Amino acid sequence: MEKNIKFPVVDLSKLNGEERDQTMALIDDACQNWGFFELLNHGIPYDLMDNIERMTKEHYKKFMEQKFKEMLRSKGLDTLETEVEDIDWESTFFLRHLPQTNLYDIPNMSDEYRAAMKDFGKRLESLAEELLDLLCENLGLEKGYLKKVFRGTKGPTFGTKVSNYPPCPKPEMIKGLRAHTDAGGLILLFQDDKVSGLQLLKDGVWVDVPPLKHSIVINLGDQLEVITNGKYKSVMHRVMTQKEGNRMSIASFYNPGSDAEISPAQSLGDKESEYPSFVFDDYMKLYAGVKFQPKEPRFEAMKNAAATKDANPVATVETF
């Protein structure tokens, strides 16, 4: 890690005081040059975060660890003699909050854990919407613009991926999560405050996202890059495995609704845009197969798909 690189940490409480302008500028710089920043004093109660961390770790021990070990055996990962490039060293489950919750369909969660996750999800949803408006302000877009774009006809999609990255005997042989950019909108991450592992690619160098107790790490997905016409960037990141310690990470994805129409904002795209316009669900269908590849060919493929559709509308009808 380069010595002079300082990961952007934003004290959100400063938005209410004299340092508002500097704080907004710090957020803008982070969105342009890092694709990531870390929030403190974000308004989510620290005791709620402590409870979630405790219950997530208990849940892993009780219901997930055994399954993870079985997965290692069944995939032949218990020896790791050569580098593995098509599997991640992670144990995960996924909660959906919006448009409809699946929280009550997930097995093996205590009532207390479910209630805490519901509360946490609500608070993260509000924080995401507050942040989208801060981004609008920095971008010169009207308040509510991004939220409205994300809404589609059914409201945004919002979900939480609960992950554990167990200790790995040979970290050089496998990643916790391979390098990728996130497809969606805004990602809010509650990561372990002791075990590190998350890194982002900045100017060709992998930089650690430092564990910081009670912080929420924010990063931007591909959709915000498209809507801002490249002013803001989604940035490659990955999770390294560690020899010691089990890293918890709870990543919540505030994404557009499936039928939301995504395109560069007019006020940010006066030149002929290099970014495509599309329906979010079509992007996700493409992303599913190419998540661990660079985003540029995805943008290109979406542009080509739109061009084909415009040039030959009859052909698309005939496919039904």
- Which residues contribute to the site for Ni ion (CB under 5 A)? 182
Closest listed residue to residue 68, CA positions, set 166, 190, 168, 210? 166
Residues 224-243 contacting ligand OGA, CB under 6 A? 237, 239
Q: How far is the CB of 180 from Ni ion (least distance, A)?
A: 6
- For 105, phi then psi, to 5°, come to -100, -5
| Residue 148 or 178 having the CB closest to ligand OGA | 178
Closest listed residue to residue 29, CA positions, set 134, 128, 130? 134
CA distance 19 to 113: 37
| 163 counts as binding ligand OGA under rule CB under 6 A | yes
Q: Are 26 and 39 in contact (CB under 8 A)?
A: no
Binder among 161, 170, 214, 303 for ligand OGA (CB under 6 A): 161
Burial class (CB within 10 angstroms; exposed 0-12, middle 13-18, buried 19+) of 189: buried
| Residue 145 or 254 having the CB closest to ligand OGA | 254
| 175 counts as binding ligand OGA under rule CB under 6 A | no
**From the list ligand OGA, Ni ion, none, which binds 239 (C-beta under 5 to 8 Å, kind-based)?**
ligand OGA
Binder among 56, 249, 252, 255 for ligand OGA (CB under 6 A): 249
| Residue 59 or 264 having the CB closest to ligand OGA | 59
| Residue 30 or 239 having the CB closest to ligand OGA | 239
In sequence order, which residues have a C-beta less than 8 Å from that of residue 146 and are 6 or more positions away? 132, 133, 135, 136, 185, 224, 227
For the CA atoms of 25, 29, 32, 36, the dihedral, rounded to the nearest 10 degrees, stands at -110
CA distance 219 to 217: 7
Residues 51-110 contacting ligand OGA, CB under 6 A? none
| 12 counts as binding ligand OGA under rule CB under 6 A | no
| 116 counts as binding ligand OGA under rule CB under 6 A | no
**From the list Ni ion, ligand OGA, none, which binds 161 (C-beta under 5 to 8 Å, kind-based)?**
ligand OGA
Q: How far is the CB of 96 from Ni ion (least distance, A)?
A: 17
| 251 counts as binding ligand OGA under rule CB under 6 A | yes
Q: How far is the CB of 190 from ligand OGA (least distance, A)?
A: 10
Q: Are 242 and 170 in contact (CB under 8 A)?
A: no
CA distance 78 to 101: 36
| Residue 38 or 182 having the CB closest to ligand OGA | 182
DSSP string spanning 115-180?
A: HHHHHHHHHHHHHHHHHHHHHHHHHTPPTTHHHHHHHTTT--EEEEEEEEE---S-GGG-EEEEEE
Q: Which helix (H) or strand (E) holds 191?
A: strand 186-191
| Residue 24 or 284 having the CB closest to Ni ion | 284
Q: How far is the CB of 15 from Ni ion (least distance, A)?
A: 26
Q: How far is the CB of 94 from ligand OGA (least distance, A)?
A: 10
| Residue 131 or 177 having the CB closest to ligand OGA | 177
- Using CB under 6 A as the criterion, which residues of the chain lie in contact with ligand OGA when the complex forms? 161, 163, 177, 182, 189, 191, 198, 237, 239, 249, 251
